[in-house]
Structure 1
């Protein structure tokens, strides 16, 4: 209990709130051409140094660590970090981060990654922490905003990897022939043929109302319908719900054509199969009045076997997507770890959706990390996070968990 007693003393005897405010001001002070402002910044830096020196003097053996804890982590974050260290007896050695609705949020950060979060990621990078950005977005989209937010040097440092399109490819600049791995090229030709057919027909065969309300995301492999309306809006919700039903029907017809089967029943087979797999899909079919006229057991074995290899994902008011179950974020993260040379990972996995949950469950099953999620995540994600370490954060506040991980690693370095 000695370490807990020391933390109680640290946060009881010193004004950690003021220390954090000073540290945030010094860290996030924007570049300005103002002598008065720069003088104010220097005065804040001097006061910060003085307050840290008081903590160093009060804790001769742990002073450097404790002054950094007080400057960057709240009392709750520090004690959560100590609980995690007590439980796992090690620090985090890689960050695995979803982007949309995790690092940034349409409803909480104006769809931008907050400066505080970007600064914390830069500090982790400077401390030698590899970063895996794991997203359903296209590679070009992710590269663009990461370079804008984190800088070209960090993105191309060799310590950052991008798992894009939910695991169909991995991009790790600075690693020669391994810089870009196209994981979808390893799929069987028959599965790839199904995706090629769906992609070529998904817009051309769509009803006009749906075609006018959504667009096809420019993926390398996955087939993703996105709304032509603001993500999260009622209009986006309506068009994505219609798009999900349409994608299910199209997938059913294409699989029946490729595998062989009664095409007149193929749409119902797809609806029945995927509704049985995912209660959210079942809910959309019910709300749209499009429930299937058959049971999952009625799906022919060869059709069901093919469906077992294909994922249909629904993201409310955001996207309807067809992907490969053989390619997911877990496969992508494993490939990223391989390229980055992380042989004994202990990751923090941050995300909000079912695709992120797979990674969370994978690290839990392999004693390879911990999970964190925003409070608006899908129910299954929240259930997992609460059941494990309760690292739930407010919308747009990913920095809260990053500060906890900072504290955990500082405490782990003490031994």
Structure 2
């Protein structure tokens, strides 16, 4: 019998919705010191076992179908089957953004949901390495990952953290390779530009910016964050102003670096605005709204200035952050370094993310036939366009667990012997 027919039979003949309710209750039941509560958990666990046993007895590959039914709804199970038919292999590494992907300020109170954490634990226990790939600082990420997954998983040797969007990689348990400072390999001229911006950005900021934002505690990138709530109108105003200010500071730093090339420092801000307005439509829009749109065109930018800008990334995250980073250091570079340390020679990754920095990783795995991409429905337009044009793996805000369930089912299906499910 074809697997599609088997899945139809599974979801038509069995009460899989109730089965999943029991599974989720058993998985995420909070630790309590109550005999009555523990008896309730035990009764639920017994009922879960009995319902799974009915499925085990009904299919030749009953264990596989029982676990799929307990973890994934009908739609996600058929998504998994479509993915297996298209790609023919299981996911062997998870590459996961955090903010607005695993957790959402608008959907999960900025906490990683317990069902998501439990599924990550199940992937870890099945031998699938996890790469957390984020723009946040290492200390922030280490803190909430230890709190959410436990120190044992974080320090197992099978979890890696790509932090500050690829400027460093932290993989506990790997000796000299545990922490890699990728920014140390950059040229001295680029490092000088960043040092100049970092030393001036807050001391010389206009008063409303100095009091309205702070500098994220990065090791290398220069990231302005609003003091007000992310996503609020006030945060948007602060970050829009901060973006223009960052571009002008970048222009002055670039002019200082290429000063012998006939570049006037007074014009450098104009050149840099023109360069990045042409590179990024979101930056172009902010400059227009702020009345800071350059008179110059990108083609007019002096070669010496453009040569430095080609190596520097300016990222705008609406009502969240304005960041200067290195194009030579991005999440792709960080993920490749993490894979090397983890010993993943033939990756087929699930990449989950919402932003342009995540899109680069998605495009990289697509170009190398090295994985699949998923994004929340509020992701950036370009990110959503990519996901919809590949495997259409889009999930609701705060529902990252749904995509993990689909991949759980995919891996279960991929592990089946070709004859066992007939």
Identify the TM-score tier after normalising by the shorter chain: over 0.9
Asked if 1:324 corresponds to 2:350, the answer is no
Q: Classify the secondary structure of the residue corresponding to 2:273.
A: helix
Equivalent residue, structure 2, for 1:182? 181
How far is the alpha carbon of 1:405 from its aligned partner? 0.3
How far is the alpha carbon of 1:383 from its aligned partner? 0.2
Matches of 1:275 and 1:25 in 2, distance apart? Answer: 50
Equivalent residue, structure 1, for 2:224? 225
Equivalent residue, structure 1, for 2:111? 112
How far is the alpha carbon of 1:198 from its aligned partner? 0.6
Give CA deviations for 1:203-250 in whole Å, capped at 9, x if unaligned. Answer: 111111111100000100000000001111111010000000000010
How far is the alpha carbon of 1:18 from its aligned partner? 0.4
Match among 380, 384, 387 for residue 386 of structure 2: 384
Equivalent residue, structure 1, for 2:371? 369
Equivalent residue, structure 1, for 2:267? 265
Matches of 1:176 and 1:26 in 2, distance apart? Answer: 37
Equivalent residue, structure 1, for 2:292? 290
**TM-score normalised per structure 2:** 0.97
Count of residues in correspondence between the two structures: 414
Superposed, 1:233-382 pairs within 5 Å as 233-260=232-259, 261-382=263-384
Superposed, 1:193-208 pairs within 5 Å as 193-208=192-207
How far is the alpha carbon of 1:412 from its aligned partner? 0.1
For structure 1, the residue ranges without an aligned partner over 5 or more in a row are none
Give CA deviations for 1:337-371 in whole Å, capped at 9, x if unaligned. Answer: 00000000000000000000000000000000000
Matches of 2:202 and 2:38 in 1, distance apart? Answer: 55
Give CA deviations for 1:70-120 in whole Å, capped at 9, x if unaligned. Answer: 000000000000000000000000000000000001000000000010111
**TM-score normalised per structure 1:** 0.99
Equivalent residue, structure 2, for 1:398? 400
Matches of 2:257 and 2:11 in 1, distance apart? Answer: 65
Equivalent residue, structure 2, for 1:123? 122
Q: Classify the secondary structure of the residue corresponding to 1:157.
A: coil
CA RMSD of aligned residues (A): 0.6
Asked if 1:81 corresponds to 2:62, the answer is no
Equivalent residue, structure 1, for 2:29? 29
How far is the alpha carbon of 1:34 from its aligned partner? 1.5
Equivalent residue, structure 1, for 2:39? 39
Equivalent residue, structure 1, for 2:63? 64
Give CA deviations for 1:8-64 in whole Å, capped at 9, x if unaligned. Answer: 0000000000000000011111111222111111111111111111111110x2100
How far is the alpha carbon of 1:264 from its aligned partner? 1.1
Equivalent residue, structure 1, for 2:420? none
Matches of 1:342 and 1:83 in 2, distance apart? Answer: 25
Matches of 1:130 and 1:210 in 2, distance apart? Answer: 41
Q: Classify the secondary structure of the residue corresponding to 1:372.
A: strand
How far is the alpha carbon of 1:133 from its aligned partner? 0.1
Equivalent residue, structure 2, for 1:2? 2
The list of structure 1 runs, each at least 4 consecutive aligned residues, that deviate by more than 2 angstroms after superposition, is none
Q: Classify the secondary structure of the residue corresponding to 2:415.
A: helix
How far is the alpha carbon of 1:384 from its aligned partner? 0.3
Matches of 2:247 and 2:288 in 1, distance apart? Answer: 14
